Amino acid sequence: MCGRYVLAVDPETLQTAFNLSSTPDFPPRFNIAPTQHNPVITNEAPASAVLMRWGLIPSWSKDTKIGASLINARSESAAEKPSFRNALRRRRCLIPASGFYEWQQRDGGKAPMYIHLADAPVFAMAGLWEVWKDPATGEIIRTYSILTTDANPFMQSIHHRMPVILQPEDYAAWLATEEVSIDAVRHLMRPFDGGALAAHEVSKAVNRPVNDSPDLIEPVA
C-alpha cells in the first residue's frame, strides 16, 4: 500500500513537469497523510492542479468515514469494486509526488524507507477521484485514492505492494476526458521500472503525521 508520501517541489517545478497553466498555493510537504488536502491533476481539468482530500468517498456514501479506508485502490480489482469502478472509467487523476514511504519488516520491527526516483524531483502516481455531496449540509468534497500494484523487483525487499507510477508519455492517456473501457487503461497500471528507483532508511519520526520537515527524508546513520 501507500500510506504516506512527499511532495517537496515549488509550484514552478510542478507546472513545468506536468505542463500546467495553474497550481494551488502549496508548501513543500514531507509527510503527507490521509484526510489531508493535496495537489491532484484530474482528467476533468488536466491543465490545472487542484487540492483534494486523500481518501476516496464514493458518491453513494452516507458520510465521510469510509474515506479513511479507501486511501488506496488495488489496480487488479478496482474495476470490480463498487467504490472504484465508476471512477476508473470516468474519473482518473495524477497525484504528484517527490517520493513515498514504505515500512520494511525486520527482526527488530518495521523500519521506514523513503523511495523516490533517482534522477527526477517529481513524478505522478495514478489515482482515482470522486465528488461527494454532504446530504445534510450540501457541502461538496472532492477526494482521491492512489492505485497500487505488485512490487517490482526493486521494491520486493521492502514491501509486496507499491503505488502505480506512470511514465510521462502515459499521462495523456490516463487523463483522457471521455469515459474509457477498463481494457483501455489496464496496461498503464503496471509495476514501474525498478532501475529508476532509489531508497534509503529514514527516521521513525515519520511515523507521526504531525512531523513534517525536510529532515524526515534524510538517510539515517
- Give pLDDT tens digits for 65-93: 999 999 999 999 999 999 999 999 999 99
Q: Which of 76, 80, 93, 102 is catalytic?
A: 102
From CA 203, how far away is CA 71, in angstroms rounded?
23
In the annotation, is 2 catalytic?
Answer: yes
Is the pLDDT confidence value at 152 over 90?
yes
* Residue carrying the nine cell digits 483501455: 184
C-alpha cell at 168: 510521462
- Write down the mean pLDDT value for the chain: 95
Q: Measured between alpha carbons, how far is 160 from 152 in angstroms, rounded to an integer?
A: 8
CA dihedral angle for residue 34, residue 36, residue 38, residue 43, rounded to 10 degrees: 60
- What is the pLDDT at residue 179? 87
- What fold is seen in the domain 7-98+118-192? hypothetical protein yedk fold (3.90.1680)
> For this structure, is 76 an active site residue?
no
How confident is the model over 28-52, as pLDDT tens digits?
A: 999 999 999 999 999 999 999 999 9
Q: What cell numbers appear for 137 in the block? A: 449540509
Strand segments (E) across the chain: 5-7, 29-32, 37-42, 50-54, 72-74, 92-97, 99-106, 109-117, 123-133, 140-150, 161-163, 165-166, 197-201
Check: CB of residue 60 under 8 Å from CB of residue 148: no
Query: What are the boundaries of each domain within the chain?
Result: 7-98+118-192
Question: Which three cell numbers mark 61?
Answer: 456514501
